[in-house]
Structures are given as structure tokens and as C-alpha cells.
A and B are shown apart, each in its own frame.
Chain A
Amino acid sequence: MRTISELQAIKDAFTAKRQDSKEIRVIIGMGTCGISAGATPVYEALRDGARKMGLDNVTVCPTGCIGMCTYEPIVEVKVPGKETVTYIHVDAAKAEKILRYHLRDGIPVSEYTIGGDCGSLTELDFYKKQNRVAIRNCGIVNPEDITEYIYKDGYFALAKALLNMKPSEVIDEIKKSGLRGRGGGGFPTGTKWGFAAANEADQKYFICNADEGDPGAFMDRSVLEGDPHAVLEAMAIAGYAIGASKGFIYVRAEYPVAVERLNIAIAQAKEYGLLGDNIMGTDFCFDIEIRLGAGAFVCGEETALIASIEGFRGMSRNKPPFPANKGLWGKPTIINNVETLANVAQIILKGADWFTSFGTAKSPGTKVFALGGKINNTGLVEVPMGITLREIIYEIGDGCPNGKRFKAVQTGGPSGGCITTENLDTPIDFDNLVAIGSMMGSGGMIVMDEDNCMVDIARFFLDFTVDESCGKCTPCREGTKRMHEILDKITGGEGTEEDVETLKELAQNIKLTSLCGLGQTAPNPVLSTINHFENEYIAHVKEKSCPAGVCKALINFSITDDCKGCTLCQRSCPVQAISGSLKKKHVIDQDTCLKCGICMNVCKFNAIVKE
């Protein structure tokens, strides 16, 4: 591959094939979420079935995450000249029917579609407010086929950078776009690249941070699984801009599908001369190596990540020197997160002005959020910065399930905080989220309803940080442990008012004196829940009650006089704690009761109460 026209030829050939009026494309979402929901047998049934029936014009195309996790496994059928038909919750049996009626005979199986006259996912409210830049190809291209990426203008940005731009011009364009790091910090990407470019060195490194550790955030995984070439192309562009010839992708070992697709993508890019020596016939050489993490959250921190690639315990160190000056093996190193990189090629191709046309002045562009928890439409959404939380939670996410009342949304994972109803109309960007006591983080957005106890949630996050603290500095190692003990005590019904004050004091000290971001932000979930829900803490310590009915030491289930003696609860109880005879009021033996709440869920007469 030497010229843009060669790239164009691949695109044209693919376009011609796509325009072949006979080709029926069957797309199936096969990200980790789709596979977990059972996409593999569906894919095999469709692929093998089409072959057996001799349907030569049918292409069954596995793709990455389509975004609407709630409906997985999802199958889209694109017949030329007809509207796309989307099937949801597909299994092998449904796939058989789709094969026979739709793919062979041309009659869609309407009972399995998404419903109404809405055949296409993009017509749903879930998609209407979205603007996809970073995950533009996820759920659309086959991630294991480089020509599909080229068809979507892939590698044209690399060609443009290498053939028509100086490295400094690439950096200026990224600076002008105002792109900020999507991994949490929000540091301007172009400025960061500029630091490394200004350093003279015989070797520089570029690292893609794919150690997505925030529990409940999976946008990076979706990009790696659904559009791996977007990351490789951006890394090569960045390598050219800063003068690095070697790149690493540090990816979680828990993402086997992503690792496999990255390996395939790297091999294909090398084969096409888009990675390796003398890319596009220039002097620029760039190679990428994958390194697997081994389950340490702290390795998302830059200096800890570098230590891990060097083969040591993943412990952070003091900054300065910053990695841009002294990083991997002492050489200038730039680390960018996956989602940040997924924007780069589009910015180079379409220009900084295009990028700044979305979002807010200080946070241009879009952001991907992983919507999860107590929300109807779980999934991955990409929205322009500046959108309000209310729009995301109610218009895109369709609110809390089962008519429950929204309580708070947690952003920023273990480093972030809760946002309550009063701030739902704040436009979201990096700075506003910090101003209302949370942070962007990597984009996890966990919705909580009235049944979630905020003290318990704070304890959950501290449990995480205690486990993940690398142990190097005392405030983080010892401080988070003490905070966790206090939270355990409070949720266990043994807390005092003084404990809440101690928590606040410890939190301030840990924030001010920890070595790295992990410790500095670890107290945030506690401070934020105390700030917004101090009444819940007080209820736990003073009245010894858990208003949400979560903390087991503080709740009891009992059966009221509404009991009709139907015996359903008795039969459902996993530990036989309920006794009573037919048509007589039942009773719960408090000593045996596990407080699992199954009885309350199954009771048809609302005769079981939690106090």
C-alpha cells in the first residue's frame, strides 16, 4: 500500500460488491454482551442454515456491540431496496424461522421483530438522541475484516496524515479540536502529544490504555471488539505525530474477545502495509504489540501501567517526571485511552471544526456512556457533551424499571460520586460533573432507585478500592481500609454518629495525601453519599434502620394480616424459614430467615413487609 488511490480501489471494490442488488446482509451483534446472551448458536444456525439451503446471496456478518444490550441477541436483516428488519431476543429456533420465511421466501417474521412499524433500531428513541463518533462502526462493520473498515473510510486519515501533513500539523489539528482524554482525567490530548513531540530521544513509545477497570463501564471493550482498526489507525497517527515507532496496547486479560479481534486486526493491517515498516511508502515505521493486564485496577494509572509493561508490580510513582518526558524504559511515552483514540481518525479526516461542532466549548465532541443498573434500556450510548442527565436517563434510558422512583445516578465509578434529582438538568461535561461533586471518569453510569441503600453503595466502592490499592502509600493502603471498616460497622448496625464524622475527616486526609489518582479519589463515593444522603447515614447510626431495606442487620421481614395462606412464600423460601398451613396466616422464623426477599417478591397479596 503506497498511495491513497490504492486504498480508494479497495473501498470501490467493496462498494461495488455492496451495491450488488442481490446481496442480503444479516448482521448479528457479537460483542461480549451479545455472546453472553446467546449470540453464538444463533450465528451458527444462520450461517450453516443459509449454506444448507443454498442461499448464496446471504452474507451472515458478525459485528460488535450494537449498543442495545437489553434486546440481545439482535439480528438485523438488510434486503436491498427494503427497510432494515431488526429481530430481538433471537435464539436458534427463531433463527431457523427467520431463515426459512424471511431469507428464503422474503416474508419477515413480524412476531420476532422489535415491534410496531419500527423495523430499524435507529428509529427508536434510544438512538435518536445519539451521535456516534467513537463507536460509529460498532454494530455495523465486521471487526474481523479490514476491507469493511476501509469501506467506512478507514485508514484514509492515516494516509492523509502521512502523505499530506507534517507531524506538527497533526498535533495542531488535534489541539484545535479540543479533544480531551476520555479515560477520566480530561487532559487535552493534543497538548499531551506536543510534550512528547518536543522531546528528542532515540526511541519513544505510544501506549493505548485498554485496561478498562471501572466496574460497570464497557465502552472501551465495545470499541476494541467492534472496531479494532479505529484504535490501530489512531495509534499509528499518534506515533507519527510524536515520533514513536513502537506502540503497546495494554488490555485487560478479562477481555478475550477484544484481544482476539485486536490480534486479527494487527495481522491484517500488517498484511495491507498499514502497520510495520515504511507505511504508505514513507519513512514512517510503526509496530504494535499487545500486552495483557492481569487484574489490577491501579494499572489504569499511567505510571503503574508503565511499571506493569516493564514487568514489575503495577505500582504508581511520583510525577514529575511525567511519562511524556520519562516513561516506558525511561523514554518519552504517551498514553491515551481507547475511546479518546477512537475519535482521532475522524478528527484528522473531517477536521477540527467538524469535531467542535458537537459538544460544549470546553468539552467538544461526544462521550460514550455505559448505562446500567436500575434502568430500562441498559446499553451503550454516545451523546454530544452538554446533554443533560435527564435526557440520558429518561429519554434514552426510559427511566427505572417496575415504576420505581429514581434515587441517584453514579458516575465516575470508584472515583466518582452520586448525582441526585436536583442536578439532573445540568449539562454534562468534564467540568460541570466535577462542580456537582462527581466526575466523568470513563463513562460508567449506574442508575439507582429507591431500593438501593447509599451507605451500602459507598461500602461497595470502598471494598473495591481496598482490594485494588497497590499498597505503596500509607494514606491509600491504610486509610481506605479504616474507612471500609467504619462503613462495615455502620451497615452492620453498630455505627455511631461519631463514625460519620471520622469518615469525613479520614476522607479529607486520604484525598490530600495519597500518591496517585486511585487514592486521591477513593473517598469520593463516601463524601458524595454523605453530602447528598446524610439522612440515610443518620438513620443507620441513630435509629438503627436502613431506609432502603438493604442492610441485612437492620431489616426484618414479616407477614401481615393480608396473608391469605396461599403457601407460595413458604414454597419459595430457599431455607424453609416460613411456616403455616393452607388458608392460614404464615409466619417467618427470624432466626432462619436469610433476608433474601424472595417471599416478598412472590407474594401476590403484598402481605409481606420489610421493616
Chain B
Amino acid sequence: MNKESKCSCGGVISANDPRFEELKEYIDSLKDSKGITMPVLQEAQRIFGFLPLEVQKFIAKEIGIPVSEVYGVSTFYSQFNLTPKGKHKIAVCLGTACYVRGAQAVLDKLAEELDINVGDTTPDGLFTLEATRCLGCCSLAPVMMIDDEVYAKLDNISVIPGILQKYYEQRLPE
């Protein structure tokens, strides 16, 4: 197996990446607790942004369980990402309240505008489109979040291209 794991964002996670040290510190701080697999995976995802195989192997070794078990847990829960996500995460609420008020049309429109399927990331790495369960602001239905920003009452889906435009423009200085 290669020592290095390539991620599609172009970056490389090498075995002596300083972030492993940060993760190890966290794992050590939990040494007295039981059932720490999930908290460790959550922290690892916070540190690395996603859970590449190298990171899963590291976790398995550090907490003393087989890699297969770590992989099993990280693929079971929808919160864990095994591939890197886009710069901006678009989460369209598909809770029941949003659904009955037309959230599917919002999701379809976004998929069409970005030309990707739900769950995928745009080739330029700018957006990841996701359908999520109830975001808990049912009175604003249908609602979506781009990163931490809430866009409410999207009854008229023709406003969506304008919303996306804002993020395209922010990217320009690079």
C-alpha cells in the first residue's frame, strides 16, 4: 500500500502530516473512555475535512481495533465522508414540512444548475449538493443552507441561479 493517499482536490496526505499529531492528542485524551470510535471519527473529520483510508488506518492502529471495523462505522453513518467535499456545501432540507411545500423542486433546480447529481461535488470543487433531513426551521419551508447561511421560503425556484452567482463571484480573486 502506498504511504500517501491522494485526494481529488489535488492535495496529498502524507504519513508525517502534522494533523495526525493533532488527532493523536485527541485520541490520547479519551484513553479512559469506552466506545470512542465515533467521537474519534468525528474529530478526524473535523481536522481533515473527510476520512481518507490513511486516516482510518491511523485511527484503527491508535485505538486498537481492526481497520474493517473503522471502515464499517465510517460507511454506516451518513455524516462521515470518505471523499473530499466541495468548498461550499449546499444542503436542501427534505424534511416532511419542506417536502410538502416544494423542496423537491428546489433540489431538482440546483442539480440542473450545477449539472451534478445529489450527493456529488462539482468538477471545479466549488459546490457539494446534498439533501438533508429536517434542518429544524419548518416555518421557513422550503429551505436550504449554503454553509451556515440559511435561504428561506424558496417557493420561487427562479431565484436560485442568483443565489449561486454570489458564490461564483466570491471565487474570482483566486
Contact with B along A306-341 (1 / 0, CB 8 A): 001111111000000000000001000000000000
Q: In the complex, are the beta carbons of A37 and B38 less than 8 A apart?
A: no
> A36 CA to B94 CA in the complex, in Å?
16
> A374 CA to B98 CA in the complex, in Å?
10
- The one of A221, A313, A446 that contacts B100, using a Cβ cutoff of 8 Å: A446
> A413 CA to B97 CA in the complex, in Å?
11
- Determine if A254 is an interface residue (Cβ-Cβ < 8 Å): yes
- Pick from B99, B157, B158 the residue with the most CB of A within 10 Å: B99
* Interface residues on chain B, number (Cβ under 8 Å): 44
- Determine if A32 is an interface residue (Cβ-Cβ < 8 Å): yes
Q: In the complex, are the beta carbons of B78 and A255 less than 8 A apart?
A: no
Q: B residues within 8 A CB of A253? A: 42, 79
Q: In the complex, are the beta carbons of B141 and A311 less than 8 A apart?
A: no
* Interface residues on chain A, number (Cβ under 8 Å): 56
Q: In the complex, are the beta carbons of A313 and B139 less than 8 A apart?
A: no
Q: In the complex, are the beta carbons of B96 and A410 less than 8 A apart?
A: yes
Beta-carbon nearest neighbor of A313 in chain B: B76
Which of A117-125, A144-152, A169-177, A292-300 contacts its partner? A292-300
Q: In the complex, are the beta carbons of B72 and A598 less than 8 A apart?
A: no
Within 8 A of B (CB), among A414-456: 444, 446, 448, 452
> A23 CA to B105 CA in the complex, in Å?
49
Q: In the complex, are the beta carbons of B156 and A598 less than 8 A apart?
A: yes
Within 8 A of A (CB), among B78-114: 78-80, 94-97, 99-101, 105, 108-109
- Determine if B143 is an interface residue (Cβ-Cβ < 8 Å): yes
- Determine if A572 is an interface residue (Cβ-Cβ < 8 Å): yes
Task: Say whether, besides A253-B79, A254-B133, A574 and B157 are in contact (CB < 8 Å).
Answer: yes
Task: Say whether, besides A374-B100, A413-B96, A36 and B135 are in contact (CB < 8 Å).
Answer: yes
Beta-carbon nearest neighbor of A572 in chain B: B158
- Determine if A457 is an interface residue (Cβ-Cβ < 8 Å): yes
| B122 shortest CB reach to chain A, Å | 20
- Determine if B67 is an interface residue (Cβ-Cβ < 8 Å): no
- The one of A215, A295, A413 that contacts B94, using a Cβ cutoff of 8 Å: A215
- Determine if A160 is an interface residue (Cβ-Cβ < 8 Å): no
Which B residues have a C-beta under 8 Å from some C-beta of A? 33-39, 41-42, 69, 72-73, 76-80, 94-97, 99-101, 105, 108-109, 132-141, 143, 150, 152, 155-158
11 contacts between A and B (CB under 8 A): A33-B136, A216-B134, A218-B138, A297-B133, A311-B37, A312-B72, A373-B97, A378-B139, A574-B157, A598-B157, A601-B156
Please name 7 further chain A to chain B contacts, defined as beta carbons within 8 Å, in addition to the given A37-B140, A293-B77, A296-B78, sorted by A numbering: A33-B140, A69-B139, A70-B139, A213-B133, A215-B133, A310-B35, A574-B157
